[in-house]
Amino acid sequence: MNNNIVAVYPGSFDPPTKGHLDIISRASKIFPKVIVAITENYNKHHMFNLQERVDMMKESVSNIKNVEVDSFSGLLADYLVKIESFFVIRGLRALSDFEYEFQMALMNRTLNQKIETIFLMPDQIYTFLSSSMIKEIAGLGGDFKNLVPEPVYKRFKIKNNL
């Protein structure tokens, strides 16, 4: 195996969930190095700023030795060229994710023919889970402790005075 191969798991991760960690864990068993690349998604209103999301993710993956956390702005294709990686990891929870992810994979390949997208499915207990759902549950006072990593739960509590 080529130990220089780097896979990138991009996303806004607002906030990171246990579903994200499941995908990261799976990718870390396949690739020698995984970079979780956190970006601003200008189409979304973020609860946590970029640095908070980076910090939460770093704390959440600190026990996985071959995973690093980075941030970027702009096109994923440009970021991949910058770090000299062309493998993108994306999670598929349900069939409804496939169309969007398929379009994104094809667009990235259109921007750079070297880009390959690898789709991973999370454990079935996370197929319903999304960052948006976590924010909604928390906003309505529901219990979400078992759905997010401990560092994320702590930051949520502090940020929302819970």
Residues designated as active site: 20, 44, 93, 131
Long-range contacts of 55-58 (CB under 8 A, 24+ apart): 56/13, 56/15, 56/16, 56/149, 56/151, 56/152, 56/155, 57/13, 57/16
Beta strands in 29-145 (DSSP E): 33-39, 67-72, 87-91, 116-120
Q: Tokens 């700023």 sit at which residue?
A: 49
